[in-house]
Structure 1
Amino acid sequence: MLGICYYPEHWPESQWASDAQEMRDLGLTYVRIAEFAWSRLEPTEGHYTFDWLDRAIDTLANAGLKVIMCTPTATPPKWLVEAYPDMLAVDVNTGQSRGFGSRRHYDFSSIDYHREAMRISEVLAKRYGEHPAVVGWQTDNELACHDTTPSASASAVNAFQEWCKTRYQTIEKLNEEWGNVFWSMEYPSFASISAPYFAVTETNPAHQLAFRRFSSDQVIAFHDDMVAIIRQHAPGRFVTHNFIPMADTQTDNYALARELDFAAYDNYPLGRTDLFFANADTAQFKRYMRTGHPDFSSYYFDQTRGLCQKNFWIMEQQPGPVNWAVHNPRPEPGMIALWSWVAFGHGADTVCYFRWRQAPFAQEQMHAGLKRADNSPSAAYKEVQQVKAELDELNIKPDDPLHYDVAIVSTTANQWITEIEQQGQSYLHQQVEFEYYHALRMLGLNVAFVSPEAALTDYKLVVVPTMPVVTDSFIERCKKTSATIVFGPRSGSKTEEFQTPQNLAPGKLQNLIQVKVLSVETLRDDISETLHYEGQTFHSNRWREELDVDNKTKVLATYHDHTPAVVQAENRVYVGTLGCADFTRALLEKLAKVSGLTTYTLPEDVRTVERGDYRLLFNYSAEAVRVDGFANKEFVIGSNELPGYSYAVMKR
């Protein structure tokens, strides 16, 4: 299915009917509305103006469109800020209160804002919860965007003190768990605890981790309450949320998604590629400047699907140049269609484009839509028509299964700990996780993202790029699977309260593989040393652990001085270093084949994925390429010779 994001409050009412009919003629099914409309729905406190929204919904429904209603809580109006100034968050970098004039200017710990957000959500849910045209709901909008999870406000500090009291029970236990005897940081009472910011130098990492856990819990509690209200008044309607990249939320995304029917994602490949490759050389960035990196969108798609372990939606799909990245290039012709098919291939059931018409005013007037501000069709318009025709031809169903033999175990706690104690500026959590994912996708393998609480028995290969805190229950799940399990460096290196394990790293992983980390060195990313594996020489850089192993543990790779770098015991592998891309791919290819998986040698810019009865191929290169292993196959769409920036679909 296809959909669109629409803002009837931005356009003359006389234009609504023609917009709706054109959406239907284009082949769109769903229309998302109202996520930023609080000031129009409630111009002053308790004074509601729903008549325009009633008419907008009726207009869309009369054209045969289905409506996704949103709670407008991402943009509290000015009168609300003036009534409850404590609702504004305090920036943890500057200590300044965040002001009115954009969006997401609220504090998750504000009791006043929580009450008001739930009130407007309930008012909307009561009015539209059983409206026949409203088939689903989106909560808020891009929760935690713009670094809004943490706040250093008085409300947040007070709530954090109560959170600590519940978790630790006594101040003596907190001081012991955090190691506050170091630097005389012991607190005399819970009431004396502050937010871990604005100190002379770095604050206690255990304190920082606790505050991140607390801040995440505040977001989740806010969201859970909103979902409960919608479900009470909107029976039979789905509830979802439009996530941003997992690394940007600073929130436990698995917990945030647990009350949803499915997760949704906002996909902006070019803006995200520009940010991700900010420090890359010009040639590397230019290669993907107008296409996005071949694995970058799918990396987030697979993460989003993993949140609820079911298919997802794209709630916002980039339709052209955007306005918010450092630079905002125009997509190559064909990319809007290609990105849509990548999403469907990785488990999207619906792709909604942002937005119907480009706004001529305010912050996003440089953000493209399917139509320009003068109502003429943009370049993306015909590509959406093309996607609709191809979807009708293939008839991919929502319950078509995806085929996974490989899992990446991921959790936000990994990011928290490795950001708090980075140790070397070249260690970047998202980059490390992405390197493993990229290597697996280059081998043509489908990758499922799972939480540490998930069962691992359905997979042949399980990759843990890093997991500093390892639980006893995760160790037991590892023992129950016959899959080959690969642990990256830093795994098992910390206790739950951010201390070094008494038996040294990798801590509890020593129940699975007899290896001990004696010391760690970190190097600049432009300095590397040799790494020997399978008779070949690769590069080891950034993070390097000195490993001690017993004589029962097999050494798979060694450093330049012939000491162990990668070791294996039975079906468990521990990698003590970060290596070059060629090494990561070579290691995972060998382990995949030993695990009975079929891998492919794909061209650098080609990827493949399986869904239902189909295998899809995607070409991110301007050149036509031939893909080994798929010659003489019957293609439903496209052919074995993939032209530039294109895709092809074949029967499995």
Structure 2
Amino acid sequence: MTKQRLGVCYYPEHWPEDLWTEDARRMRDVGLSVVRIGEFAWSRLEPEDGRYDFDWLARAIDVLHEAGLRVVLGTPTATPPKWLVDKMPDMLARNAQGRPRGFGSRRHYCFSYEPYARECERIVTALAQAFGAHPAVVAWQIDNEYGCHDTVESYSPAAREAFRRWCEHKYGDIGALNRAWGNVFWSMELSRFDQIELPHLTVTEANPACLLDFKRFSSDQVAAFHRRQVEIIRRHSPSRDILHNFMGAFTAFDHFAVGRDLDVAAWDSYPLGFLERSHRDEAFKRRFMRVGDPDFQAFHHDLYRACGAGRLWIMEQQPGAVNWAPWNPLPAKGAVRLWSFEAFAAGAEVVSYFRWRQAPFAQEQMHEGLLLPNSEPNEAYHVARAVARELESIDAKVETECADVALVFDYDSAFAWEIEPQGQDFSYFDLILDFYGGLRKLGLNVDVVPPTPEAMARRKLIVAPALFASSAALTRAFSESGALVLLGPRSGSKTEDFQIPPGLPPGDFRPLVDVAIQRVESLRPGAQIPVEAAENGAFVRWREIIAAGAEAAVLLRCDDGAPALTRRERFLYLAGLPNDLLRDALLRRLANEAGLTLIDLPEHIRLRDNGPMRYVFNYGERDFDLSPILGEASLLLGERRLPPCGVALFRRPG
């Protein structure tokens, strides 16, 4: 079992060299073990074309190593220097209006521009040869936050040519593409692949099938760009972990595809910033302003653990106020500690705070760190010290197990419902997060999984709402899983080519549920369709009119008589988006039938099991009596009356 540790992000190039040794000593004294460096340093590593200056980086790594710290070395390809942009100005991505995304911040490159990819290979090869065998370097971070600032999709000439090649490779014949895209509509038919244009600057909406393929292509470009660097690191720095730091609520590329080339999936956890950017209502945001959404961080821990084949790091953990949200409040007392242990409860091997010292200059000068700009300790410095001591006292290790509940998350579905929401406020991400929160409120551990057959094994309950396209393989996996399976709404409503299935939705899922979706409607804000026999339960935002077959029993109906929930054997279909009351009642019903042990939790209390170790978290403003949950067990952390932002830990009986 892997020991759980703390880390920090450090930028030695930002500070006088005579600070480095003292910084390293203080990091070690606080209890930090892992330090990430180098991911934005290309201009210092190669000040001029072909002239490397690695000496300063070598000295920095040696200083950290001498202090007993482990180093994660970042490849600097998220920040190409000015001389490189001047050398190849066509490397810049273009936005949907066709304008170059210029130099002066970061992520100013197009994934499809081959000369830039070769420059990346060159600098990464040089770094891997120089530091790949250094005993301090235990891991590599490839690039930084792929897609941040809406940079996955580029509308450059290079992207257009690459998209044409991608389409030709996929379809082989232009007639096949025309049929898949439905190009007979509006006379959009093509006679050659070199006639394909990027889906932007059209008079009205572009063809949804073309848009979906462009999103798939753009996602594939990210994965291919990433893989080239991974192969170099594997060759020159064997046995070191390779990771990438994903972001929150970000669905512009398939993270599972990138994850296939990783040893560890990491993500950057900023609970307060993400809450401010979320679609939650104002009352919710005010209530959780200083602690964050009780389910948002946990959802991403579970999602990215799946992307990393069971291995998870938090590469950037919010330590104080950030600088990039609409409003940037300070965390509540105890919130940073709570977030840290929430990650460890979900199986994180490392929680790394961003950053060591607050920068007094440039774009992120208002982003707090463990130290103030003058090197005095900030509040999170003391929090990190306390968490490090607690980790030692409980001998914290990764002990995660396969959860009985699987919640299916699919990036193709996120692409599809962004293209065709059919209702202005329909959000696939928000829908999945709502179901996740409903399951967590029942005290359940949840694995967030890709829509692959192997992910369905060893489950008791599978929840797969809004899975846009069905497949024979996934249908077979659901059937063979032995689990109770909830589909709908919008599950199987399209083919892989973004067309309505010939036999009507839910396509290949139809033999499981024996229903046909005949009509759909989206509902404006505030509108509800009550569901009978579900006290105050209703559909909101989305409802489907379904015809139930002879083998499908109607369990619930809308007040207009239309089926709301149907069942055939172990397979249920939900014909609309449930409000919280309907969702919670349905999930409770299914969890009980699946034989799961439920714990009724208040809205502000959450728990998570790390193997035999059970963590409890208080996101609320009042103390919570743990006695009903704790029973006769002894606490390893916390007290029976759990205060706001409190964390409790105990070993589950048996």
Q: Contact conserved, 1:632 with 1:640, CA < 8 A, in 2?
A: no
Inter-partner Cα distance in structure 1 for 2:346 and 2:525: 32
Out of 5, 10, 17, the residue aligned to residue 13 of structure 1 is 17
- Mapped to 1, the partners of 2:136 and 2:264 lie a distance apart of 20
Contact 2:299 2:448 in 1 (8 A): no
CA distance in 2, matches of 1:97, 1:366: 28
Equivalent residue number for residue 66 of structure 1? 70
In 1, distance between residues paired with 2:104 and 2:16?
A: 24
Aligned twin of 1:286: 286
Q: Does residue 317 of structure 2 align to residue 317 of structure 1?
A: yes
Equivalence map 1:139-538=2 (5 Å)? 139-245=142-248, 247-277=249-279, 280-281=281-282, 283-398=283-398, 400-455=399-454, 456-533=456-533, 536-538=535-537
Match of 1:646 in 2: 646
Letter in 2 for 1:425: Q
How many Å apart are 1:25 and its aligned residue? 0.5
Distance 2:412 2:47 in 1: 41
2:420 partner amino acid: E
SS for the counterpart of 2:630 is coil
- Say yes or no: does 1:126 pair with 2:129: yes
Secondary structure in 2 matching 1:532:
coil
Counterpart CA distance in 2 for 1:208 and 1:459 is 34
Equivalent residue letter for 1:134: V
Question: 2-side partners of 1:644 and 1:254: how far apart?
Answer: 35
Q: Distance in 2 between matches of 1:382 and 1:617?
A: 22
Identify the residue that residue 546 of structure 2 maps to in structure 1.
547
Q: 1:33 aligns with which of 12, 33, 37?
A: 37
- Separation of aligned partners in 1, 2:167 and 2:402: 43
Code of the aligned partner of 1:198 = L
Q: Which amino acid aligns with 1:78?
A: K
CA distance in 2, matches of 1:332, 1:480: 47
Deviates more, 1:400-409 or 1:174-183: 400-409
2:251/2:415 contact within 8 Å kept: no
1:639 to partner: Cα distance: 2.0
Q: Deviations over 1:323-355 (max 9, x none)?
A: 011111100011110100000001101100000
How far apart are residue 552 of structure 1 and its match? 2.4
Distance of 2:547 and 2:603 partners within structure 1: 37
CA separation in 2, counterparts of 1:271 and 1:409?
Answer: 26
Task: Note if contact 2:138-2:240 (Cα within 8 Å) is conserved in structure 1.
Answer: yes
**Partners of 1:251 and 1:605 in 2: CA distance:** 32
For 1:268 and 1:566, locate their aligned partners in 2 and report how far apart those are by CA, in whole Å: 37
In structure 2, what residue type is equivalent to 1:267?
Answer: S
Per the alignment, residue 561 of structure 2 pairs with 562
How far off is 1:633 after superposition? Answer: 3.0
Structure 1 contact 273–293 (Cα < 8 Å) conserved: yes
**Separation (CA, whole Å) in 2 of partners of 1:375 and 1:383:** 16
C-alpha displacement at 1:612, in angstroms? 2.4
Question: 1:568 is paired with a residue of what secondary structure?
Answer: strand
Question: Matched residues in 2 for 1:11 and 1:648: separation?
Answer: 39
Amino acid at match of 2:232: I
AA aligned to 1:488 is G
- Corresponding residue number in structure 2 for 1:585: 584
Deviations 1:586-605 (A, max 9, x none): 10111011000011110110
Residues 148-185 of structure 1 deviation map (CA, whole Å, 9 limit, x = unaligned): 11110000000101111111111111111100010111
* 1:241 alignment partner, SS class: strand
Equivalent position SS for 1:286? helix
CA-based RMSD of the aligned residues comes to: 1.1
TM-score normalised per structure 1 = 0.98
Cα distance in 2 between the residues matched to 1:612 and 1:496: 38
Q: Read off the aligned partner of 1:552 and give its amino acid letter.
A: E
| Cα distance in 1 for residues equivalent to 2:505 and 2:410 | 19
Deviation at 1:559, TM superposition (A): 0.8
Quick check: 2:8–2:35 contact (8 Å CA) kept in 1?
yes
The 2-side partners of 1:320 and 1:157 are apart by 42
Does the 8 A contact of 2:11 with 2:38 survive in 1?
A: yes
What number of residue pairs does the alignment pair up? 646
Q: Which runs of 5+ in 1 are unaligned?
A: none
Cα offsets for 1:270-323 (capped at 9, x unmatched): 00011114x613x22110111001111101111111112313000000000000
- Write the distance in 2 (CA, Å) between the matches of 1:458 and 1:248: 28
- Listed one character per residue, the Cα deviations across residues 470-490 of structure 1 (whole Å, up to 9, x for unaligned) are 111111111111100111211
Preserved CA contact (<8 Å) 2:471 2:509 = no
Q: Which amino acid aligns with 2:531?
A: L
Structure 2 gaps, min length 5: none
Counterpart in the other structure of 1:600: 599
Q: Is the 8 A contact 1:149 1:249 kept in 2?
A: no
Question: How many angstroms does 1:191 deviate by?
Answer: 0.7
